[in-house]
Structure 1
Amino acid sequence: MDAKSEVLLRQPELFSGNILLVNPPQDQLSQSLDATISIWSWNFADHQYFLQSGYHSVFDIVPPQQSFDQVIIFIPKAKELLNYVLEHCAAILGQDKPIFLVGEKKAGIEGAAKQLQAFAKPVKIDSARHCQLWQIKIQQQHQVKPLEAWLKHYQYTFNQTHLDICALPGVFSQDHLDIGTQQILPFLAQVKAGKILDFGCGAGIISAILAKLNPKNHMTAVDIDAFALHSTQLTFARNNLTTQLTTIAITDIRDVDDRFNAIVSNPPFHQGIKTHYQASENLCQFSKNLLKPAGELWIVANRFLNYQPFIENSFGHCQIKSDQNGFKIFYANKK
């Protein structure tokens, strides 16, 4: 059982009725509460876990629009994402109903609890297992701001072409172009045209540039995060990109069922505050199976992430196209 869930179960008398769990971990908490449980998750792996466990789970950027007696929020990593979640939960919950906030101290629960003050006076309920549990009761009806109000924008210019990148709260590098992606962008003009997979699409800048470079490309953007997938769609819409775009929620490269001329990725290696390399390592090992003959793999990664052996083991070779600013560009093709 996750430590955060253990803290909740120290106070079982607090939880009853129809409860919405927001961003919960994959454990048996839902089975341990004497209540009717629904799930709101933007992590596709978590969503799949709860569906398979028989729960009503929604994978979306908004919570299920129904009546709840209580909401329990497991704090997300991004501060702005918590503000977004709180506003949406307060809007569906209504007055005089409790919102509980639980999280680890190392993940910033004390700072997160201060964000509750915009809605009501927070009360600390418990502190244990290096976690804290806080509660507020909504005092007035809240309205949700338009989605546009939550968007961050930044510009990228190449070949006298301007792109407006749109990113929702919680999306990787929400308000600026990250260094890793900067390193691979100059190489995108070399990427084989056709059907292209953007693995871990984030706000969609790689997909958008490839669409600009060749409008005949067919882009498939995949990510585990609902906010990332929606951000990619918004980026394409904002820039009036006519290239065919398909966005798919996945947990792993092996969830993809198609064949591509190229796979391009700035792969993630974090889940929340924890380091997690498996998805990226699987990309290196299994992407060859998704490539058409002569198809290409392009990956940018921190220099300390030694993906080269995984790529060589799969493709029989791996070329380092660039090694600067702390990042390497790995390239391989399906000969």
Structure 2
Amino acid sequence: MDPRSEVLLRQAGLFTGDLLLAGLPADDLLAELPRAWGWSWHAGEHQHLLARFGERCSFDVQAPPAAFDSAVLFLPKSRELTDYLLQALASRLAGKPLYLVGEKRAGIERAARQLAAFGKPRKLDSARHCQLWRVDVLDAPDTPVLNDLARHFTLELSDGPLQVTSLPGVFSHGRLDLGSALLLEHLDGLPAGPLLDFGCGAGVIGAALKRRYPASPVILLDVDAFALASSRLTLAANRLEAQSIAADSIHAAPVGLAAIVSNPPFHQGVHTDYQASETLLRHAREHLATNGELRLVANSFLRYPPLIERHLGHCQTLASGQGFSLYRAAIRQ
């Protein structure tokens, strides 16, 4: 059981009515709270919950429409996303309690101050290096319009300006990160055929690929519902079309890809996590066509070249700069 869930269960007597659990972990919490519903924006966790609890858990950037007597937000990493989620929940809870739970090292005490916009926050419990806070919503705010919270910026690329839209919580919200900037400079010469942007974020790489290779189908894959929503907005802003897949690993991608292009994540919340990237490198060959290739940008200190050599063959460093390296490996018969 996740320690945040354990803290909630210490106060289980508070949750006797219809309860919404927002951002819940993929554990047994829904089994322990039979009147609870889950709202997830993490595709991997949602799949685990869906397999066990069926329609009691939704995957979306919007809260499920059903009425509830209280809600718990599991603290996300992003302050902007926390703001949006708290407002979205509080808008449905006039005169009702809203709870916030999170790890101390994730900044739960700082985040609890954000509850003051809706009433007087109270700390209810502290255990397992986590805290549980409550606010009784006095004046429900207006329901936030997610797209109104988007940040828009323009990238001046060699083939013209690219419009980018990012939503709260998306990696490198409102700006181009250094790794993606390096990757954008080295998208030439990809083989013809389906192209996958793995860990698409706001869709910068995927949109650039589709514009540069209009005859090639482009697929954007990400674990985060807010990232996929952002990527669709980015594509629409540039009048481009691509397929999107919500998944937490390369296993959900199609086979026969001409190329996998990625600036893969290695952080999950406050924890460092390389699993998605390492799974990508171990199984990329299964999804690439003969003569297909991988192009991956990463922090130079990450020891990806040995993994690439082991699973894909010769690893070429195409470029390095500002702490990042761009690697290429091609599949040969």
| AA at the equivalent of 1:123 | R
Match of 1:21 in 2: 21
Describe the superposition over 1:13-51 as per-residue Cα deviations: whole angstroms up to 9, x where unpaired.
111111111111122222223x41211010011111111
Q: Does 1:258 align with 2:255?
A: yes
- Residue from 301, 314, 329 that aligns with 1:317: 314
| AA at the equivalent of 2:285 | K
| AA at the equivalent of 1:279 | A
C-alpha contact (below 8 Å) 2:255/2:286 kept by paired residues: no
| AA at the equivalent of 1:306 | R
Q: How does 1:225-244 map to 2 (within 5 A)?
A: 225-241=224-240, 244=241
Q: Which deviates more, 157-166 or 179-188? A: 157-166
Q: How does 1:108-119 map to 2 (within 5 A)?
A: 108-119=107-118
Cα distance in 1 for residues equivalent to 2:128 and 2:260: 42
Cα 1:257–1:166 shift into 2, 3 Å: same
Q: How does 1:157-196 map to 2 (within 5 A)?
A: 157-159=156-158, 161-196=160-195
> Can you give the 5+ residue segments of structure 1 that lack an aligned partner in the other structure?
none
Match of 2:294 in 1: 297
TM-superposed deviation, 1:325: 1.5
Match of 2:135 in 1: 136
TM-superposed deviation, 1:160: 5.5
Q: Which deviates more, 216-225 or 196-205? A: 216-225
| AA at the equivalent of 2:173 | Q
Q: How does 1:35-184 map to 2 (within 5 A)?
A: 35-55=34-54, 56-91=56-91, 93-159=92-158, 161-184=160-183
C-alpha contact (below 8 Å) 1:94/1:142 kept by paired residues: no
> Can you give the 5+ residue segments of structure 2 that lack an aligned partner in the other structure?
none
C-alpha contact (below 8 Å) 1:172/1:202 kept by paired residues: yes
C-alpha contact (below 8 Å) 1:201/1:265 kept by paired residues: yes
Q: Which deviates more, 297-306 or 52-61? A: 52-61
Cα distance in 2 for residues equivalent to 1:223 and 1:83: 22
Partner of 1:240, secondary structure, is: coil
TM-superposed deviation, 1:317: 1.3
Match of 2:12 in 1: 12
Instruction: Report percent identity of matched pairs.
Output: 44
Partner of 1:190, secondary structure, is: coil
Query: TM-score, with normalisation over the residues of structure 2?
Result: 0.96
Query: TM-score, with normalisation over the residues of structure 1?
Result: 0.95
C-alpha contact (below 8 Å) 2:18/2:68 kept by paired residues: yes
TM-superposed deviation, 1:316: 2.3
Count of residue correspondences:
331
Match of 1:221 in 2: 220
Cα 1:248–1:160 shift into 2, 3 Å: closer
| AA at the equivalent of 1:179 | L
Cα distance in 2 for residues equivalent to 1:160 and 1:26: 43
Describe the superposition over 1:221-268 as per-residue Cα deviations: whole angstroms up to 9, x where unpaired.
000000011100000111222xx4000011211122332111100001
Partner of 1:173, secondary structure, is: coil
C-alpha contact (below 8 Å) 1:195/1:260 kept by paired residues: yes
Cα distance in 2 for residues equivalent to 1:176 and 1:4: 32
Cα distance in 1 for residues equivalent to 2:322 and 2:139: 50
Match of 1:30 in 2: 30
TM-superposed deviation, 1:169: 0.6
